[in-house]
Amino acid sequence: MQINDFDYYLPEELIAQHPADKRENSRLMVIHRDNGKLEHKHFYNILEYLNPGDCLVMNNSKVIPARLFGIKENTGAKVEFLLIKRKDGDIWETMVRPGKRLHPGDVVSFHSEGKLKAEILDYGDDGTRIVKFLYNGVFLEILDEIGKIPLPPYIERESNDEDKQRYQTVYCKEEGSVAAPTAGLHFTKELLDEAVKKGVKLAYVTLHVGIGTFRPVKCDNIEEHKMHFEEYEVDEKNAEIINSTKKAGGRIISVGTTSTRTLESAAVNSENQEGYTLVAGRGNTGIFIYPGYKFKLVDSLITNFHLPKSTLLMLVSALYNREDILKIYEEAVAEKYRFFSYGDAMVIL
């Protein structure tokens, strides 16, 4: 398949620059795959489409304040860091800007009192740098003090105090993402409580979202695209919730593409059983889901509206089909839905 097969027209004014006034007030497009019906609702209506015995699977990764502004020692040049992935201990792979100013051996200071510094160790992939952070205290606490939430590049403003709360899910727990699992931003604790009262099970997985979520597909033939690897974890308790739901005939409703990629990466087919089972454990996944993929565990998906030509749009097209998804996106544009991270949602049933 060609990259242009996943293109669509999006007016710039539909790219959400701020979150909805309340999480649950985002709009919700409901897609019924059995008959092609579309409904236009609000996210607080999601409970109408969840049945007792279903299981919502959510990514509980927490966004870290991964954007840092510093000064190169000896020259005083201003530089910007975006943490991408922890390599080992205090060694991280990091995007730097402007890259031409930073070479192995250079040291950058991010705090006037020297509370946090970084030494450039080596060059990484795609222009990144491998750096070692030097600090006194607890690294994540220092990040929380001086770092900024790394909003996606299509949000054309600086992050603020509101983003520290709204660019996190209400159930985030495990620190490590540089981008939010945005489908979950629409849920409130009250909505989740109501889902449980209705008999819906809640399960959590962890996938730390890397910068690869923003990187474009650069090859014309999408099958040549290579995904960046991201770390995931599924514990025994949540694996059992998901497996028991599947065994009992309930639906696995994945909240977001990151939860989907985790479930599909950790699913195995044993010779002694029918269907797939989710295996608990840690791993790295570079799974690339596009049309033609056969889903192992995921039955339904709650997700936002994604960028043209993106791997996320390809994943959604694999669950339904490309032609209908593009028609749905045309409908969303006509109905003036809000797009991308702070935008509205759809549920594919």
Q: Is residue 157 part of a domain?
A: no
**Could you say which of 146, 180, 209 is where a domain stops?**
146
**38 and 115, same domain (yes or no):** no
Query: Are 30 and 128 found together in one domain?
Result: no
Give yes or no: residues 57 and 73 share one domain: no
Q: What is the pLDDT of residues 155-185, one digit of tens each?
A: 999 999 899 999 999 999 999 999 999 999 9
Q: Is residue 155 part of a domain?
A: no
Residues 185 and 59 reside in one and the same domain: yes
DSSP-based three-state secondary structure for 18: coil
CA angle, residues 88, 288, 173, in degrees to nearest 5: 50
* 270 lies in the same domain as 193: yes
Specify whether 140 is located in the same domain as 173: no
Domain-ending residue, one of 114, 146, 178? 146
Compute the residue count for the chain. 349
59 with 71, same domain: the answer is no
Q: Is 85 a member of any domain?
A: yes
**The total number of structural domains that make up the chain:** 2
Query: Does residue 92 share a domain with residue 198?
Result: no
Mean of the pLDDT values across residues 255-279?
90
Check whether 323 has a pLDDT greater than 70. Answer: yes
Domain that holds residue 81: 67-146
- pLDDT tens per residue across span 185-221: 999 999 999 999 999 999 999 999 987 766 788 899 9
289 with 243, same domain?
A: yes
* In a domain? residue 275: yes
52 and 76, same domain (yes or no): no
Contact 81, 70 (CB under 8 A): yes
Runs of H (alpha helix) within the chain:
139-146, 161-166, 189-197, 236-247, 257-265, 311-319, 322-334
Q: Confirm whether 19 is domain-assigned.
A: yes
